[in-house]
A and B are shown apart, each in its own frame.
Chain A
Amino acid sequence: TQLLEQSPQFLSIQEGENLTVYCNSSSVFSSLQWYRQEPGEGPVLLVTVVTGGEVKKLKRLTFQFGDARKDSSLHITAAQPGDTGLYLCPPLGRLYFGRGTQLTVWP
């Protein structure tokens, strides 16, 4: 069962550009997590969003949880090569990660 979809699947941009990736579902979740997985490493938790409409900021990264708690977005301002990685948004505790968005930021 496809619990959620992430888009775009691949994104390749130049350093300094802004970008947004999306995580959408037809189901309502109590909370969502965002992970980043760098090449050859395990996923690392970035943030957990819990409240509908919630916005959390982590330096240049802004995470938003939809009002209906069915979707979430991640906006990166002035992307840097260190942001390169696979971004995953599993529902908390559901153990399903989806395909993620593979982001590549070129110097």
Chain B
Amino acid sequence: ETGVTQTPRHLVMGMTNKKSLKCEQHLGHNAMYWYKQSAKKPLELMFVYSLEERVENNSVPSRFSPECPNSSHLFLHLHTLQPEDSALYLCASSPGTGAENEQFFGPGTRLTVL
């Protein structure tokens, strides 16, 4: 048990659908992250939240919309995605965002866009 849960674990959606990915951390951390992991590519950082405020947005297309209602929950809202957006989406949390903080990952959501 990593203390970070993600739902759903698998998601198949069409390009016109709207769906949301959910992440919850039970570790009392203040920072949460979304990563994208595609085949044959390194983990790509998408968004960073610290105390519910977005502190980093790595040039992610607007069809991905994050939401952090509190320090324990993080959502990634998806709309009009493309097939190339198919990937494993990983959520992580850490005590803070400083360089000394270790990240703890959830199991990921395997997304397939048809």
Contacts and interface: CB of A to CB of B under 8 A. Distances in A.
Interface of A: 30, 33, 35, 40-45, 48, 88, 92-100
B108 A97 contact: no
Nearest to B45: A95
Interface size class, chain B: 20 to 34
22 contacts: A30-B99, A33-B102, A35-B105, A40-B108, A41-B107, A41-B108, A42-B2, A42-B91, A42-B106, A42-B107, A42-B108, A43-B105, A45-B102, A45-B104, A93-B98, A93-B100, A95-B33, A95-B45, A95-B48, A95-B103, A96-B42, A97-B43
Contacts of A93: 97-101
Nearest to A88: B43
A95 B103 CA distance: 9
A97 B43 CA distance: 6
For the complex of A and B, 4 pairs with smallest distance between CB atoms: A93-B99, A42-B105, A97-B43, A99-B42
